Amino acid sequence: MSAFTFDAVLAELSKGSPFFLAVTAVVGLVIYVLNRAFGDEKSTTSVKSEDAEAKETQPEPAKPTAKAKSKKLNAGAKGRNSKKQTHPWQKTLLKGHTGPVTQIKVTPNGKYLASVSEDRTIRFWALKDIDAEKSVVRFNTGLDHAVDCDFSPDNKACVLALFRERKLCLAKVDIKGKVFETKQEMPEKSLASNVIACGMRVANPHDPRSGCTYLMLACDTTLLEIRSIHGDLLDKVDTKLGHNTYSVLSPDGKFVAVCGYVGEVKVYEAPKAFGKLSQAFNIGGHTACIYHCMFSEDTKFCSTISKDGTWKVWNIDIEYKLNGDPKLVASGKYDDKGSSLVALSPDHRVVAVASGCAISFYSVRTSEMLETIPDAHPDGRISSIAFHPEGKYLFSAASDKTIRLWHNVPGFQESIFFLEKDYRNATTDTQKERIKDQINAAKQVLQDIGS
């Protein structure tokens, strides 16, 4: 091969020379690699240029205004709160306890709501300004927690039913001075059964007819004890109720009531001059275990609730010493979810029933259910309920560590019913004007609540 020219190459290729076939393959591979490398770079640069060009021509998005930001935040907050919507009757949610709340009671002077909890504290919430954070005073109850509590009329003494120790604890209390001082625990040795209820009765030193000062404790067996404030055992009673479920003193200290597995409430006359308990009368009418019983504020009525699915209100303003029997005033059915509770409003017109996490309101006049709040405490079981001294609100406590304050809407509705009846029977313009003002005031409260 004299000359390596393009024509010669073609000639050799046409002949199928192995040498030129190999050279051709190598040259083709080199050209392919170079073309791939430089071609891809050019293509990439071209795409980037087009993207940059498009980005330059596209206008920047407008920054959100303060109004738009506020609207977005409000929408987000609304979405979060929608999962925690409360019933329109709920006025206040009281938080602070770090354990299940076991009992709540309004102090005898009507100024505080007392609450005891498994967090081993007792708290006093000022009813005058219950929404304020500083309205609560907290005391520790030692190394044990209380399941029940009661107070002297002047709020200077307190008795607690201790869970682990199975004893009573008597303490000196000064809420304003923030003093809670344990004075004595009784009895010296722990009881063989759990203490489920306690009470305190302080006699009037200027009235010999007022009886004696004593403490009451009830156990979950059939034991009911009366002790002096020094711990001396004054009386010991076998209630013969199968087992006790609850026990309570009447507000005037005249009676001790205890209910249990047997479908009746036994009411004892309180001891006088350190005497013995004497049975006054029984409240029957139920066909199964009675969970709970409560006296009205004036001790003229007693409300009961049973496993048989009924609640009842009894007139106990009777001549029991002449064998008079309690008179049934109202009775209704409820949805029993176990260990239910009952409370009667101070004006005797509304019955509140708590079962599980639900609260229901009933009319004493008609025995009909007026309203139910199915998830009053959605995260816990209700352990205690109590009406405000004026009847405007209902308190509820539960194992969810909270206390809730509810507007007694049925109470206002029933008040309007009776006021309108009084208005029709009024004989003077002055009476009608006064009653009309009361009706308008009650209607305004309902309107403000949204009912």
Identify the pLDDT of residue 44: 41
Q: Could you tell me which residues come within 8 angstroms of residue 117 by beta carbon, excluding any fewer than 6 positions away?
A: 97, 98, 99, 100, 101, 102, 123, 145, 401
pLDDT of residue 203: 86
pLDDT of residue 76: 35
Position 2 scores a pLDDT of: 41
Contact status, residue 373 vs residue 406, Cβ threshold 8 Å: yes
What pLDDT score does 270 carry?
Answer: 87
Task: Report the b/e string of 130-168 with b at 16+ CB within 10 A.
Answer: beeeebbbebebbebbbbbbbbbeebebbbbbbbebbbb
Work out whether the CA dihedral 444, 445, 449, 451 comes out positive or negative.
negative
Q: Is the distance from CB of 348 to CB of 296 less than 8 angstroms?
A: yes
Which burial class, exposed, middle or buried, applies to 300 when counting CB atoms under 10 A from its CB (0-12, 13-18, 19+)? middle
**Contact criterion met (CB below 8 Å) for 105 and 116:** no
What's the gap between Cα 411 and its chain centre?
20
pLDDT for res 88: 92
Per-residue confidence (pLDDT) for residue 367, from 0 to 100: 97
d(CA 398, CA 357): 8
**Separation in Å, CA 385 to CA 24, 321, 359, 382, 394:** 100, 32, 9, 8, 7
* pTM (global) more than 0.85: no
How is residue 177 written in tokens?
């001075």
pLDDT per residue as tens, the chain (451 positions): 444 343 443 344 444 445 444 545 555 554 554 555 444 444 444 434 444 444 444 444 444 444 444 343 333 333 323 335 578 999 999 999 999 999 999 999 999 999 999 999 999 999 988 876 678 999 999 999 999 999 999 899 999 999 999 999 999 999 999 999 999 999 999 999 999 999 999 988 777 777 789 999 999 999 999 999 999 999 999 999 999 999 999 998 899 999 999 999 999 998 877 778 999 999 999 999 999 999 999 999 999 999 999 999 999 999 999 999 999 999 999 999 999 999 999 999 999 999 999 999 999 999 999 999 999 999 999 999 999 999 999 999 999 999 999 999 999 999 999 999 999 999 999 999 999 999 999 999 999 998 7
Q: What is the pLDDT of residue 273?
A: 73
- Find the angle CA(167)-CA(170)-CA(175) to the nearest 5 degrees: 135
**Euclidean distance between the first and the last CA atom of the chain, given in angstroms as a whole number:** 113
Please report where in the chains the tokens 């003002």 appear, as a residue: 437
